[in-house]
Structures are given as C-alpha cells and as structure tokens.
C-alpha cells in the first residue's frame, strides 16, 4: 500500500503543529520519522490515524484521496497504530485483547477459539512467541507491545505506525523489536517508526525524514552520521558525547545499608540494598523500569518508609524523617514523573520554581510570601536555564516536557545541596535540553555534591555515570565502572550477573555494538 501525506497542515490556535508536511510511505518500507519532542511527529500521526482533522492537505492511499473521520476509518483503510502508552486492558487475555474492537462471534457467544488461532498464526509467522491465553498484566512490557502489533496485524494493517516504541524497552527487547520490524517489512507491511533515538533509526530505517518545528527539514539515509542527524533534528550542532572531567570523589557522603522497602502489597520492591556514594561523584542506578530504582529514590527522600536499613547522609540518619526534614537536610530531588510529582501544573512557572522553597527565608515577607522575590527568582532561573515560556506567570502544565523538566531541575539545584537525586532526569526531553540538563548535573557534581541518577536509558547512564549500580528485582546485582559496555549493562538489567554478562556480551554482540563498530 502506498500512503501519501500531501501538504498536511494542522494548527492549534496560533501554533502551527504541522506546516505543509509531505510524506510518502512506500510498501514494505521502514520509514523513520525523527524529531524532537514537540516537533509535530505525534500530531502528524494523529492526523494520519484519524484522531485529528487536518486544516489543510490530504491523505492518499494508493493514489486515491481518503478522508478519515476517526480511527475506525483509518483501521479500515489498513492503517494500524501502536501508541507509546499501550491501549490494553490489563485483565484481558492476549486473545481477548486482539479481539477487542472487532469481536468475532459464534451465535451470541464470543468466538475465542478463532481469536486464539489468529494470535497463534500471526505469532508463528513473525516469531512473536506470544501465548494467546496469557493475561496482559502478567506480560513484560516488550511482549505487551507485541500484542499491540498483533492487534494491528489481525486487522490487516498494511501500514503500521509505531509511536516511540522503544521508550519502554531494554536494549535486548529493542533488538527483538527491530527484528520484528524487519520481518514485517519483508512481508510487505510499511512501518512508520517515530522516534528521537538516533541509534535505532540508523539500525533499522530505510528512509529517514526529519521534522523540526512542524516542518520537514530534510531526509537522510540511514548511513548518515549521528551528529548530522542530531544537527538536523535540533537545528544546530549538538554535542552527543558529554565531555566531562573524570570524577574526583571525596569522602563518603551517603551510605545506604541493607535497605528494605515493601510496597502496598507487601512485595519487597527494594530488597536489601547497600551502597556508598562519595562527594563529587555521580552514581547511576540503571535498570529496567519497575525494578525498584524509583522506590529506592523515594525511600531516600522520605516519601516511603523503609521497613529496615539505614540511610546515612553525612552522619544524619534519614530513615524516619519526613520529606520536609530530608529536603531541609539539603537533599534535592527530581522525581521520575515530573507532571505527577514534580510540578503543580495549574501553578505558574514562578510558583513552581519555589514549590518546595516556600519556607526558605529568601521568599519570606512579613505578610507571607514575598512575591517580588518569587518573581525575581523566576526571571533569573528562566534566563539561566533557558526555560521557554510565555513568562513567569504561565501555568507550568502548559510548558513542553523539556521545559517542565528544566523548571524542576532549576528549582532543585537552586539551593545548596548535600545530595542530589534525579529520577529519569531527561525522560521525554528533547535532545537539545538533554545536553543542557546533563551539563547542569555534571557541574553540580563538580561543586562536590554527590549525585544519584536513576535512569532506564543506557545512553544517559553511560553519559553521566562515574559508577553504575544495576538493579534487578529490587536488588543491586552489581556496581560497575561508568565505562562498562552497553551490552554488559543490558544483560545485567535483564538479571544476568556481571561475570556472565561479560561473557555473553562478548559472544553475542547486539546491533548497537555492531553499529558502533561499524560492521553493519
């Protein structure tokens, strides 16, 4: 199926999200759509999927113009979409999920057998290895994603849109997804692959279209160097490698001993974790999402109370202190989910910049809050962190992801710290802002602050870490130097102990390593 987007324009008030975008997707092609967050990729795909009506332009399938009034029209035309956040019902089985939306019936009963058969057929054809009777909530994220793909394929999707599909995957799972994409393409399915990750694009795409600020700024061959792609994406040269001076670790500042944290259900989410962290050092806690890293960070800040163990920060026991007390002891914390835990979306940028500093004497006045000081602080931080806003009074919830994150980081770094913890500091943040935030974090380290970075992104871990602690199922399964190869880290994140991981990585290098070595 030949899919063409011709001159698609979509405006939201004064903002032009898509500005006359032309795109041709050939049958069996993997077409990567590369762009920063906010470039308009998702808007374009929502237009294609029938969720938005374009203000101008048209969509043509096999040469004839079509009008989609909703996702069902798009599905009927053979366009399937796998959203970044999966649209699955946790308690359904795989077969039920695949059937959802176009239920097969036998008489007045659901025909689950046919659905099962369908899942098996598709699974075998593409080597998916998915059990039709498994419940969605029991499946790992990578498999859930395959269910989404099966869903689309079960409806004869001939164009499959994958919106940031690798954001939630481990490197190994990413490799498997890339393999699946290749097979689908070989079978004639076109794939639109939306991403901002350069490695993956180069590994899998046939054609790369780069979008910036709602326009197509060019296309590139997959052989184009990463720096060139990044420059096209951001519109200026970007330093992909963070050049940071080697750490000069001082005395041990934080020591965590035998920390045990239970979740609401009584599961050990942090299971006997111990580590030390020195002044002027960045420790990255790597791991696949949901292996206890976030809970570890929350326990240190006091958001949850450990059942056992100790967290000693420069001689002060943090276990048992309230969040307020922990923050007052000089701990800066950037939570994982900034819009959920880091910002009050309806508050202005200025208010958010003092959210946990409201008791700080700097912002006190005899009558309460010193609004002038709050305003001056906002002006200063906005300037310093290059936060793109309409002004300090703009609600923080209206900023883009990268700018929201800058607000949180700016706030947390705007007071003297004894410890800085950042969970997923650059999740959903564009390349330009990532570079900036990383520099900030490193410069905080260089002033002697011990830093903990919790990240599921290996790129980030490798860029920032002086040491890396890999967590798996609530335990630290190894602490390795910052320059440990990605393959080894990836395997450790999947639960393979360090020595085994080293051996296996040497035997089966992944695509990414191959790419780095240039033998693809």
Partner 1 sequence: MTDELVPDQADAPPAAPPPKDPTEDAAASWLRRVSSSGSTVTVLAFVLALVIGGILIAVVNPAVTAAAHYFFAAPLDTFEAAWTAVSEAYSALFRGAVFDYQADTFAKAIRPLTETMTVATPLIIAALGVAVAFRAGLFNIGGQGQVIMGASLSAYIGFTWHLPAGIACVVALLGGLFAGAVWGGIAGVLKARTGAHEVIVTIMLNYVAISFLAYFLTTEAFRVPGSAEPKSRTVRPEAQLPLLFGSQYRVTWGFVIAILAAVFVWWLMSRSRIGFQYRAVGFNPNASRTAGFSVQRITVYVMLTSGALAGLAGAVQLLGTSKYLTDGIAGTIGFDAITVALLGRSKPLGIFFAGILYGGLSAGGRFMEAVTGTPISIVLVLQALVVLFIAAPSLVRTIFRLPAPDAELKGATA
- Of these, 1, 9, 226, 347, which contacts partner 1 (CB under 8 A)? 347
Q: Considering the complex, what minimum distance in angstroms separates the CB of residue 272 from partner 1?
A: 25
Residue 510 gets which letter from DSSP? -
Q: Which of 117/371 has CB closer to partner 1?
A: 371
Q: Per-residue x/- marks for partner 1, 178-217, CB under 8 A?
A: ------------------------------------x---
At 474, is the secondary structure helix, strand, or coil? coil
- Of these, 71, 222, 330, 432, which contacts partner 1 (CB under 8 A)? 71
Q: Per-residue x/- marks for partner 1, 105-124, CB under 8 A?
A: --------------------
Token pair 């200026």 is found at 236
b or e along 240-260 (b: 16 or more beta carbons within 10 Å of the residue's beta carbon)?
beeebeebebeeebbbbeebb
> Do 444 and 413 touch, CB atoms closer than 8 A?
yes
State yes or no: residue 401 binds partner 1 (CB under 8 A): yes
The CA dihedral of 406, 412, 416, 422, to the nearest 10 degrees, is: -90
Cα 148 to Cα 216: distance, rounded to the nearest angstrom: 28
b or e along 105-115 (b: 16 or more beta carbons within 10 Å of the residue's beta carbon)?
eeeeeeebeeb
How would you write 64-102 as a 3-class SS string? Answer: EEECCCCHHHHHHCCEEEECCCCCCCCCCEHHHHHHCCC
- Of these, 53, 56, 103, 499, which contacts partner 1 (CB under 8 A)? 53
Give the residue from 217, 262, 185, 313 showing the smallest Cα distance to 20: 217
State yes or no: residue 77 binds partner 1 (CB under 8 A): no
State yes or no: residue 100 binds partner 1 (CB under 8 A): no
- Of these, 345, 432, 448, 509, which contacts partner 1 (CB under 8 A)? 345
Q: Per-residue x/- marks for partner 1, 245-284, CB under 8 A?
A: ----------------------------------------
How would you write 195-238 as a 3-class SS string? Answer: ECCHHHHHHHCCEEEEEECCEEEEEECCCCCHHHHHHHHHCCCC
Cα 195 to Cα 100: distance, rounded to the nearest angstrom: 27
Q: Which of 214/287 has CB closer to partner 1?
A: 214
- Of these, 30, 38, 405, 492, which contacts partner 1 (CB under 8 A)? 38
State yes or no: residue 289 binds partner 1 (CB under 8 A): no
State yes or no: residue 239 binds partner 1 (CB under 8 A): no
State yes or no: residue 356 binds partner 1 (CB under 8 A): yes
- Of these, 31, 32, 34, 40, which contacts partner 1 (CB under 8 A)? 40
Count residues binding partner 1 (CB under 8 A). 62
- Of these, 63, 64, 85, 223, which contacts partner 1 (CB under 8 A)? 85
Q: Which of 148/466 has CB closer to partner 1?
A: 148
- Of these, 21, 23, 29, 52, which contacts partner 1 (CB under 8 A)? 52
Q: Considering the complex, what minimum distance in angstroms separates the CB of residue 355 from partner 1?
A: 5
State yes or no: residue 56 binds partner 1 (CB under 8 A): no
* Beta bridge partners of residue 16, listed in sequence order: 11
Cα 221 to Cα 409: distance, rounded to the nearest angstrom: 36
Q: Considering the complex, what minimum distance in angstroms separates the CB of residue 369 from partner 1?
A: 6
- Of these, 91, 264, 367, 517, which contacts partner 1 (CB under 8 A)? 367
> Do 413 and 440 touch, CB atoms closer than 8 A?
yes
- Of these, 183, 227, 289, 339, which contacts partner 1 (CB under 8 A)? 339
Q: Binders of partner 1 among 296-315, rule CB under 8 A? A: 301, 303
State yes or no: residue 424 binds partner 1 (CB under 8 A): no
**What is the bridge-based pairing of β-strands 252-262 and 215-220?**
unpaired
> Do 181 and 174 touch, CB atoms closer than 8 A?
no
Q: Spell out the residues 6+ positions from residue 102 whose beta carbon is closer than 8 angstroms to its own.
A: 155
Cα 471 to Cα 285: distance, rounded to the nearest angstrom: 7
Q: Spell out the residues 6+ positions from residue 459 whose beta carbon is closer than 8 angstroms to its own.
A: 197, 199
Q: Considering the complex, what minimum distance in angstroms separates the CB of residue 327 from partner 1?
A: 5
- Of these, 322, 380, 443, 447, which contacts partner 1 (CB under 8 A)? 322
Q: Which of 132/335 has CB closer to partner 1?
A: 335
Cα 249 to Cα 391: distance, rounded to the nearest angstrom: 39
Cα 112 to Cα 115: distance, rounded to the nearest angstrom: 5
Binding site for partner 1 (CB under 8 A): 12-15, 17, 37-40, 42-43, 45-46, 49-53, 70-72, 81, 83-85, 87, 163, 214, 301, 303, 322-324, 326-328, 333, 335, 339-347, 351, 355-356, 358-359, 364, 367-369, 371, 395, 398-401
């Amino acid at each position: 199926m030949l899919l063409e987007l011709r001159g698609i324009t979509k405006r939201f008030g004064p903002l032009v999200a898509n500005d006359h975008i032309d795109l041709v997707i050939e049958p069996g092609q993997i077409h990567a759509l590369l762009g920063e967050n906010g470039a308009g990729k998702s808007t374009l795909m929502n237009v294609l999927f029938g969720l938005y009506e374009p203000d101008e332009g048209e969509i043509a399938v096999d040469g004839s113009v079509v009008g989609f009034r909703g996702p069902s029209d798009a599905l009927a035309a053979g366009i399937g979409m796998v959203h970044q956040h999966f649209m699955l019902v946790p308690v359904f089985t795989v077969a039920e999920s695949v059937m959802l939306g176009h239920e097969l019936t036998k008489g007045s009963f659901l025909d689950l057998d046919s659905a099962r058969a369908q899942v098996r057929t598709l699974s075998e054809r593409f080597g998916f290895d998915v059990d039709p009777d498994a419940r969605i909530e029991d499946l790992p994220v990578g498999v859930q994603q395959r269910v989404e793909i099966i869903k689309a394929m079960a409806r004869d999707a001939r164009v499959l849109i994958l919106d940031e599909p690798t954001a939630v995957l481990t490197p190994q799972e990413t490799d498997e997804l890339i393999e699946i994409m290749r097979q689908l393409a070989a079978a004639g399915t076109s794939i639109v692959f939306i991403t901002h990750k350069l490695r993956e694009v180069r590994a899998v795409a046939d054609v790369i279209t780069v979008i910036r600020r709602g326009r197509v700024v060019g296309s590139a061959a997959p052989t184009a160097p990463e720096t060139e792609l990044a420059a096209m994406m951001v519109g200026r040269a970007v330093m992909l490698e963070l050049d940071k001076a080697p750490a000069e670790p001082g005395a041990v500042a934080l020591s965590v001993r035998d920390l045990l944290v239970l979740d609401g259900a009584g599961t050990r989410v942090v299971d006997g974790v111990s580590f030390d962290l020195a002044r002027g050092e960045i420790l990255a806690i790597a791991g696949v999402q949901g292996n206890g890293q976030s809970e570890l960070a929350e326990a240190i800040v006091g958001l949850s109370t450990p059942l056992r163990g100790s967290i000693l920060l420069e001689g002060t026991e943090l276990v048992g202190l309230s969040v307020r007390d922990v923050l007052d002891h000089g701990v800066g914390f950037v939570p994982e989910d900034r819009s959920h835990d880091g910002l009050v979306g309806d508050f202005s940028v200025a208010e958010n910049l003092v959210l946990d500093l409201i008791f700080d004497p700097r912002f006190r006045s005899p009558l309460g809050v010193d609004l002038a000081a709050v305003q001056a602080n906002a002006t200063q931080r906005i300037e310093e962190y290059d936060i793109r806003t309409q002004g300090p009074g703009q609600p923080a919830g209206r900023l883009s992801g990268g700018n929201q994150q800058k607000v949180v980081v700016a706030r947390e770094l705007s007071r003297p710290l004894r410890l800085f913890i950042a969970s997923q500091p650059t999740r959903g943040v564009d390349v330009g802002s990532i570079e900036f935030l990383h520099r900030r974090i490193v410069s905080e380290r260089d002033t002697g602050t011990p830093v903990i970075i919790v990240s599921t992104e290996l790129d980030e871990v490798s860029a920032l870490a002086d040491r890396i602690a890999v967590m798996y199922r609530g335990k630290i399964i190894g602490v390795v130097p910052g320059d440990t190869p990605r393959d080894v880290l990836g395997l450790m994140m999947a639960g393979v102990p360090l020595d085994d991981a080293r051996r296996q990585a040497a035997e089966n290098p992944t695509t990414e390593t191959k790419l780095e070595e240039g033998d693809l």
